[in-house]
Amino acid sequence: MSEKVSSAAQAQMAEEPKLSPAELKKRAKAEKQARRAAQKEQEGAPAIPPPTANGVPHGQASQHDEVRQEKKAKIVQAKSVQQSKSSGSQESKGERVAPSSAQSLPARGKTTVAAKEEAKVDSTVVELLSHLYPIQRRANMSGVSKDVHPAVLALGLQISSYEICGSSARCIAMLHAFKEAIHAYTTPRDTSLPRHLVSHYLSPQIEYLRSCRPLAESMGNAIRWLKKLIIEIDPDKPEHEAKNLLSEEIDRFIHERIVVTDQAIAASASKQIREGSVVLTYAKSNIVQKTILQAHAQGTRFRVIVVDSRPLFEGKRLATSLMHAGLEVEYVPFSGLAHVVKDATLVLLGAHSMLSNGRLQSRIGTASVALRAHIADVPVIVCCESVKFAGKVALDSIVLNELAPPEELLLPPSHAPIVPTNTKDTPEAAESNKTKTLHDWASIPNLQLLNPMYDITPAEYIRMVICEYGSVPPSSVPVVHRLANEGM
């Protein structure tokens, strides 16, 4: 045994002078790569997030992370295998060719492994909307910056799980959370509040909220307003005064631009609901709910049709609250749209945002409702606060959209169809023929689920937009936007 070792060692010693400088370089590179690989292996293990037992929105983000870690681990493995092979071959005699081929092998191996992993990940991405991936949802706090205030942390999770849903609600909740965060903020010694607050304190909060769910237009407008406000604060103002000012201004913003506005819009829109009207609405909009309740409180007799859709079933909540208020409500799934539109005399819609080319961005399905009503000559009225007006323009529902996790489209297991087994199959055949359900969709190649959240309704289908500046046609949206959001 020792003889072999000594002879191997002797052989190695004899080999040394024969290695050209090029070979030496290659050997050094190989060793460096081996060292890096070993380092990555150590890093790779703790970064894989622990699997959570939370509900459905386990989060595409964490899933992607896992796959990426797997990918890295595999590359590491491939590299280490190649490295050991190459180092082994260096020790043996007469394997000159092996080192060079072993050097090139890791590169080749890396691309094939990586390509396979890429392909596996991408098959669940719908190519048409690939710019909207990865889907921003969050179920845990992994990877969050330490600057994020607990109130904002909680808010992010609430938004991600649809506990707070609807752009006005999200905007108000965000401003409240920012108020708390600003209250907890202290300016560092060598800078002033206006300069430091936005870029170093608010930005991580906003980034975190974005990672929980893409920001609504109202939230975007509010943030722009807040940033402008902060930057214009006099740097010499003492900190507690500045913070009080910010707090008061945020309260005023919420009050003026959302609360009071909602009352004004409800008062104006409820005048459109006449005696004997049949009001049709889609999904759940807070402002439409307020309008209907106000009209009902004024004593007008009318009935409401609520059209609902999968997977959020927001319309059901609206129908329940209207029923509790004593209204006569008819509730149909989205497939019943054609049946109910012919009975409707007025369509009231809420908005996620109004775009500057007069188009309405709202819950997916709104465009079909508006089109159907337009064809049936039923007036379509949109109730929308000016804080939701955007400077953006869009021509289709594909570029500006948000995707929800496809898992939301899966039915809960109790609803899955009971599959009768084929008694003629042998046990082995039955195992291999085990039927898949849609829950296995990720493992089926070429099958994708798509769950878009918004769509864009063309301006021709909308008769009127009611905002706090009055009742305007959809073409006046950019005017109101300039007035309200850009201060001109």
Partner 1 sequence: MPSALAPPTPSLTTYLRSLDEAPLDKSITTLISLLKRRQIRSSRSCALATTKLLIRVVEAGEDGSDGKWSSTQALIAHIRTVGRKLISAQPKEIVIGNIVRRVLGVIREVADRDSETVADLSGSEISGPTSPITITGERSVLPMRLSEFSPRDVLSGRPGTADSVASSTFSSPAAAPQQRPNLMTAPTGTSLFSILQHPQTQTRSTSSPYATPPAGTQSPALRPSPTFKSTISTIPEGGESLDIKAEVLDGLAELLDELSVVDTQIAESALEHIHSGEVILTHGSSRTVQRFLLTAAGKKRRFTVFVAELYPNDHLAVHDTLVNGSLPPVSPEDEGLGEKGRWKALTAAGVTVVLVPDTAVFALMPRVNKVLLSPHAVMASGSLLAAAGTETICLAAKEHRVPVVVLAGVYKLSPVYPFDEEGMVEYGDPSKVVGFAEDGRFIDGVDVVNPISDFVGAEGVGLYVTNLGGCAPGYLYRVVGDHYRNEDIELGRD
Helices (H), 214-284: 217-231, 239-254, 261-270
Q: Does 320 bind partner 1 (CB under 8 A)?
A: yes
Spatial distance between the Cα atoms of 197 and 193, rounded to a whole number of angstroms: 5
Closer to partner 1 by Cβ: residue 361 or 386: 361
Shortest gap between Cβ of 289 and partner 1 (angstroms)? 15
- Kindly provide the residue ranges of all beta strands, DSSP E only, lying in 250-407, ordered along the sequence: 278-282, 303-308, 328-333, 346-349, 353-354, 360-363, 380-383
Q: Per CB under 8 A, which region of 6-14, 181-189, 243-251, 332-340 contacts partner 1?
A: 332-340
Shortest gap between Cβ of 98 and partner 1 (angstroms)? 41
Residue 5: CB atoms within 10 A of its CB come to: 9
The pattern of x and - marking residues 103 through 142 that bind partner 1 according to CB under 8 A reads -----------------------x-x--------------
The pattern of x and - marking residues 27 through 66 that bind partner 1 according to CB under 8 A reads ----------------------------------------
**Which of 311, 470, 473, 475 is the binder for partner 1 (CB under 8 A)?**
311
**Structure token digits, residue 40:** 């990555």
The pattern of x and - marking residues 351 through 380 that bind partner 1 according to CB under 8 A reads ------------xxx-xx--xx--x-----
Q: For residue 480, what is the DSSP state?
A: H
Burial 290-311 (b: 16+ CB within 10 A, else e): bbbbbbbeeebebbbbbbbbee
Spatial distance between the Cα atoms of 167 and 284, rounded to a whole number of angstroms: 11
Spatial distance between the Cα atoms of 137 and 130, rounded to a whole number of angstroms: 16
Closer to partner 1 by Cβ: residue 259 or 375: 375
Which residues is 471 bridged to in the sheet? 466
**Residue 90: its H or E element:** helix 60-91
Asked if residues 181 and 205 have their Cβ atoms less than 8 Å apart, the reply is yes
Asked if residues 14 and 93 have their Cβ atoms less than 8 Å apart, the reply is no
Picking from 369, 365, 363, 316, the residue whose alpha carbon sits closest to that of residue 347 is 369
Shortest gap between Cβ of 138 and partner 1 (angstroms)? 23
**Which of 207, 235, 450, 486 is the binder for partner 1 (CB under 8 A)?**
450
Shortest gap between Cβ of 425 and partner 1 (angstroms)? 7
**Structure token digits, residue 411:** 């039915």
Q: Does 309 bind partner 1 (CB under 8 A)?
A: yes
Q: Does 329 bind partner 1 (CB under 8 A)?
A: yes
Asked if residues 466 and 288 have their Cβ atoms less than 8 Å apart, the reply is no
Give the footprint of partner 1 on residues 383-442 (CB under 8 A).
Answer: 396-398, 401, 409, 411, 415-417, 419-423, 425, 433, 435-438, 440-441
Q: Pairing mode, if any, of strands 346-349 and 380-383?
A: parallel
Shortest gap between Cβ of 120 and partner 1 (angstroms)? 15
Closer to partner 1 by Cβ: residue 83 or 309: 309
Q: Does 150 bind partner 1 (CB under 8 A)?
A: no
Closer to partner 1 by Cβ: residue 133 or 469: 133
Q: End-to-end CA distance of the chain, in Å?
A: 90
Residues that bind partner 1 (CB under 8 A): 126, 128, 309-311, 316, 319-320, 323-324, 328-340, 363-365, 367-368, 371-372, 375, 396-398, 401, 409, 411, 415-417, 419-423, 425, 433, 435-438, 440-441, 444-452, 454-456
